[in-house]
Amino acid sequence: MKLTAPVATRESGVRWLRRIPAHWGVVQSRRLFSERNEKAREGEQQLTVSQKYGLIAQSEFMEREGRRVVQVLKGYDILKRTQAGDFVMSMRSFQGGLEYSTLSGAISSAYVPLKPLKWVHNDYFRYLFKSEAYIQELQSTSDLVRDGQALRFENFSKVSLPVVPIEEQERIASYLDRTSERIDALIAKKSRFIALLREKREALIAHTVTKGLIGSTPLKPSGVGWLGDIPAHWGVIQSRRVFAERNEKARAGEVQLTVSQKYGLIAQSEFMEREGRRVVQVLKGHDILKHVEAGDFVISMRSFQGGLELSYLSGSMSSAYVALSPVKEIDAGYFRHLFKSSTYIQALQSTSDLVRDGQALRFENFSKVPLPLVPVEEQRAIAAYLDQAIARIDALMLKTERSIGLLREHRTSIITAAVTGKIDLCADREEPA
């Protein structure tokens, strides 16, 4: 098969298609698909549409996601029916395209099932309706789509579609199946490599903060489950003898901070800029906030998942957080790694049976987890070593993530090129002179 531009092309007159093979046609989409306006039948399988899984049974969706969705137990006439072979527009189709249904069943009335009429090979349109060029054109049919307006059949009808010989649709779909499979295999391989690097990173931190740097150092039992054996010259100390809870009210005019596992402790203004969304700010009555100093560690509502955060800033924070102030000389870099280590987080989780159900961690939880007593100079050496080692691992992970991004971009561009006729897949066509 030749992967070159077709010999004869013409202007399609359609913005998202541009030039197409001369033997292709262009028609209004309602000539290829109609809206299926059938009410669901009592008792048939209820389906959920998502960009993540496509069209699947609600029971399977809830099992995969670990959460419930609204199910209709009576009055199926408020649901629509879709059949295997339909395409479905969902509330997220303006972001990720249309979903192909391999199942028949009942769907929400917010969805739009599309029934193929003619000139349709499903596998070809399965790629076309997920192509970047098509999605962008679908987005352009409504100025309000990004503000939550649902896409309707009228939106779909505004995007003209190519008419492609069925055998050519089959060739394109087959080519994209093979190409996507190869690219997806490469992405999976690189993703596994990133997962291994993450495991290596976690294991390195957990081992080094509890065993030190010198592998030949004699060890002794610590008597603490999460620490295991520790260097013979280390000790174990109650955490409240290293850190005290800072119980100071915020000072008027100081910067308000937000704690997150993603960014650590940063100014609320910076958090909102990075995330593109607003958070609740206290404009009056700063006495409901707490004061935190640079060098403190902070327990947040997500510390049971990702550990404690080191603050590089002084400011005010929510009273839901707990600031921990060092009461003896420590190296903050060492404890920054220790408090984010997987073994410490597991020990912190074990202090409360309800932590997974949303119970906030308090100073009492922190106090229940003993800490290693490490000479300060050794703390500094461990922190310096981990900083360098982790930087190397993180750089390799970033490089691999970028290569995955490039592969995804390559797959996207190939799909768009193939479904719009920019790749010649006719094996019997002669090369142009």
287 or 104, which is more confident: 104
pLDDT above 70: percentage of residues in the chain: 90
On whether the CB atoms of residues 263 and 275 are closer than 8 A, the answer is no
Its pTM surpasses 0.95 = no
CATH classification at residue 340: 3.90.220.20
One domain for residues 190 and 313: no
One domain for residues 230 and 362: yes
Residue 203 falls within a domain, yes or no? no
| Lowest mean per-residue pLDDT among 66-75, 236-245, 290-299, 362-371 | 66-75
Chain segment 121-131, per-residue pLDDT in tens: 999 999 999 99
CATH classification at residue 108: 3.90.220
Mean pLDDT score, 181-199: 98
One domain for residues 252 and 275: yes
244 or 264, which is more confident: 244
If one counts the domains in the chain, the total is: 3
One domain for residues 171 and 33: no
- The pLDDT, as a whole number, for residue 19 is 95
Contacts of 317 (CB under 8 A, 6+ apart): 250, 256, 257, 258, 259, 265, 289, 290, 292, 298, 323
Kindly tell me if the per-residue pLDDT of 356 is higher than 80.
Answer: no
One domain for residues 42 and 136: yes
428 or 187, which is more confident: 187
On whether the CB atoms of residues 311 and 271 are closer than 8 A, the answer is no
One domain for residues 57 and 137: yes
One domain for residues 3 and 123: no
Residue 202 falls within a domain, yes or no? no
Nearest to 90 by CA among 116, 52, 43, 63: 52
Mean pLDDT score, 162-183: 97
Chain segment 110-154, per-residue pLDDT in tens: 899 999 999 999 999 999 999 999 999 999 988 654 545 678 999
- Cα(first)–Cα(last) distance of the chain, in Å? 18
One domain for residues 364 and 227: yes
One domain for residues 401 and 418: yes
Nearest to 420 by CA among 429, 412, 432: 412
One domain for residues 225 and 327: yes
Residue 200 falls within a domain, yes or no? no
One domain for residues 238 and 189: no
Query: φ and ψ at 82, to 5 degrees?
Result: -130, 150
Residue 7 falls within a domain, yes or no? yes
Residue 204 falls within a domain, yes or no? no
Residue 208 falls within a domain, yes or no? no
Mean pLDDT score, 400-428: 91
Residue 109 falls within a domain, yes or no? yes
One domain for residues 132 and 218: no
Bridge-partner residues for 116, per DSSP?
A: 33
State the pLDDT confidence band at 6, using cuts at 50, 70 and 90: low
Residue 207 falls within a domain, yes or no? no
- The pLDDT, as a whole number, for residue 432 is 35
**Which runs of consecutive H residues, i.e. helices, occur in 28-131?**
58-65, 93-96, 122-128
Mean pLDDT score, 371-380: 97
Most confident range (mean pLDDT) of 282-291, 293-302, 367-376 is: 367-376
Strands 112-116 and 87-89 come out as: antiparallel
Q: Which domain holds residue 38?
A: 29-159
